[in-house]
Chains A and B, each alone.
Chain A
Amino acid sequence: MAKRKPKLAVWKFSSCDGCQLSLLDCEDELLAVADTLEIANFPEASRAVVKGPYDLSLVEGSITTSHDAERIHGIRRASKFLVTIGACATAGGIQALRNFKDVKEFISIIYAKPEYIETLKKSTPITDHVFVDFELRGCPINKLQLVEVLSAFLNGRKPNTPPHSVCIECKQRGTVCVMVAEGMPCLGPVTQAGCGALCPTYARACFGCFGPKETPNTPALSQWWQRMGVSDSDLVRAFRSFNAYAEPFRRESELHEK
């Protein structure tokens, strides 16, 4: 008898859809992936829905409504493995900038009838709500790392995604350090690798898409930036982007807030 294909589900919460699009962006691998896995629930790609349980759930987006805070528990219960993909799911995303402000004021800036809008005060990562088996970082995720994660879970091994900083990737590529050589304030030393040190190869300083690396020394980096003439308000903005609510970046930004 043919072996049952493992069932893959893709779920969306508050996000831009870019990380799940990464799966469709695997133009060369997509049909092979579909051959190996049963794509059981992936609304962006298919109207067919196969009931759970699922062998692997990919979760994109952050929790921003009470309905979503409930929904994620159902998904966890239906999933053998749950992997969060992207900065929204792993850190709350750019929409977590509300966490530093009064969300009611935000609603009234955009919507004429605030009473129609239902939202939580904070945008939070999935791991704040349920147990997560693995977090894949990035804004957006790197599609090759996504294929690695799928392959790892299919084969019962740990995904091979390096936890070191973007700096190591610059060295691996032979890219000259933009901070040392060009005096550009760069987030590379505290940012997790995964993008392939893209920005420095385009003559631009890292701006932290992949969020904090493990054990980032953010205060030391801030001191360097300050010596380069970067103001406190610019430091706050630098740490407050797509991974603003990731603990090390949040803490560092608060240190520089007046």
Chain B
Amino acid sequence: MKSRAIKVDYLARVEGEGGLLIRMKGHQVSEVKVKIFEPPRFFEAFLRGRKFTEAPDITARICGICPVAYQMSSCHAMEDALGVKIPAPIRALRRLLYCGEWIESHALHVYLLHAPDFLGYEDAIRMATDHPTEVRRGLRLKKAGNAIVNLLGGREIHPINVRVGGFYKIPPKSEFLALAEELKWARDAALETVRWVATIPIPEFERDYEFVSLRHPDEYPFNEGRIVSNKGLDIAICDYEQHFAEEHVAHSNALHSTLKERGAYFVGPLARYSLNFDRLTPTAQEAARSAGLGSVCRNPFQGIIVRSVESLYACEEALRLIEQFEMPDKPYVEAEARLSTGFGCTEAPRGALYHRYRLDERGLIVDAKIVPPTSQNLKTIEADLLQLVPANMGMQKDRLQWRCEAAVRNYDPCISCATHFLKLHIEQE
């Protein structure tokens, strides 16, 4: 029987270093490996002996694309450990900061990393020759998100203004109001984005995933809530490790996460959307419906639409938060060191990001556990390819390879995060 392979040595338009190897025998796929050769950086190890106050700045360095997520999960975990209660105005500003990161990260992925796959360009710069209006809109939208992170965080990559208990300094209301005008443009641009991606040819593909995300009683989730799934999971954040396990496989410097009872699962925009559609604003729900989505989306290629819908939501939410801005009495709440363990899980743009820290009586970290979204999705990405390749055997090899790459990019994988993961090999023996 004829056997072939698809091999992508260095997967492009993802954050970090990984590849893909798919081995086929006739119409059967014998092996799928998302290879992670991004070198390990050992964050959990060198966090030991550091002060609890250092975790937000150190863990931000795991990922230059979603540093806010690391800062939020670590702050919430430390505050859980130290019994710190966050006042409503600070909580609102954290939400605003996260809106900025979602808008920036989603615009980057939708316009610069993912759209070129569907429209057949190597990259957004080549795409800009034929679609200048769209690429410029994407860049400006990205900039609008970054403007929030810049103001409240001090800078867009590795913000300096986040601390356990709140912020170092909160800029005056006038500076937030100054962002509103551009955010109104951004909201309209995000709606245009949803309409535009709805016209892009998107492959048909569906699987019965177990979606996992946070769910909050009143809000679309960012920082708080219970961890839920569409297959009956409904747990407090502190019970995460009772239900999820990490395993170490030879082809990956990123650990693979599984649900102990049911195996692979799915985190990220599709999961959040499908579990929290009812928490979106009416405008975002309407935009999603007009783009052809139901309240649940099981086609990961439609992630580009879901990200656009989430961007629209984040723009609206940011505008609401700015309108209702209230200056906290103090920019932060003091935290006192004590012997303790704390848990935090927040919704990074790519999905749930779990942190757990054990602290000694001086507030030094005794041990740390960090589970980034991409390592939770690795098994699901491999399973998608296992179904995608046999279904598209008729395609020319280079088309099939590109399709496989796009299928990986559906997850906006962040390999830098996952090792704290990608190279494509499709091989026919």
Residues of A contacting B42 with CB < 8 Å? 95, 97-98, 103, 106-107, 109-110
Give the shortest distance, in Å, between A225 (CB) and chain B (any CB). Answer: 15
B12→A46 contact, CB < 8 A: yes
Residue A203 CB within 8 A of the other chain: yes
Q: Determine whether A254 belongs to the interface, using a CB cutoff of 8 Å to chain B.
A: no
Interface range for A: 35 or more
Chain A residues in 8 Å Cβ range of B44 = 109-110
Point out the residues of chain A lying under 8 angstroms from B155, CB to CB: 140, 195, 198
A186 smallest CB distance to B (angstroms):
13
> Are A97 and B40 in contact, CB atoms less than 8 angstroms apart?
no
B149 to chain A minimum Cβ distance, whole angstroms, is 10
Are A12 and B64 closer than 8 Å at their CB atoms? no
> Which chain A positions have C-beta within 8 A of B367?
109
Q: Are A12 and B17 in contact (CB-based, < 8 A)?
A: yes
State A59–B402 Cα separation when bound (angstroms).
27
- Looking across the interface, which residue of chain B has its beta carbon closest to that of A204? B168
Binds B, one of A22-30, A129-137, A162-170: A22-30
Contacts of A31 in B (CB 8 A): 125, 128, 135-136, 139
A237 touches which one: B51, B108, B160, B248 (CB < 8 A)? B51
Q: Which residue of A lies closest to B42 (CB)?
A: A106
Q: Which of A21, A39, A44, A103 contacts B157 (CB 8 A)?
A: A21
Which of B54, B61, B168 has the most chain A CB atoms inside 10 A of its CB?
B61
Please state if A111 and B146 are interface contacts (CB–CB under 8 Å): no
Given contacts A21-B157, A107-B40, A117-B40, contact A16 B57 (CB under 8 A): no
Q: For residue B112, which residues in chain A have a CB less than 8 angstroms away from its CB?
A: 24, 45
Contact B63 A47 (CB under 8 A): no
Tell me if B88 counts as interface (CB < 8 A to partner A): no
Which A92-140 residues have a C-beta within 8 angstroms of B? 93-95, 97-98, 101, 103, 105-107, 109-113, 116-117, 119, 139-140
Q: Given A34-B125, A109-B367, A204-B168, 18 more contacts at CB 8 Å?
A: A12-B17, A17-B65, A18-B61, A18-B158, A21-B157, A27-B140, A46-B12, A46-B13, A46-B125, A65-B39, A94-B43, A94-B61, A95-B41, A98-B46, A107-B42, A109-B48, A112-B248, A241-B57
Q: Which 5 A-B pairs have the closest CB atoms?
A: A18-B64, A46-B123, A48-B122, A47-B12, A106-B45
By a beta-carbon cutoff of 8 Å, the part of chain A in contact with chain B is: 12-19, 21-22, 24-25, 27-28, 30-31, 34, 39, 42-48, 64-65, 68, 93-95, 97-98, 101, 103, 105-107, 109-113, 116-117, 119, 139-140, 195, 198-199, 201-204, 207, 209, 237, 241-242
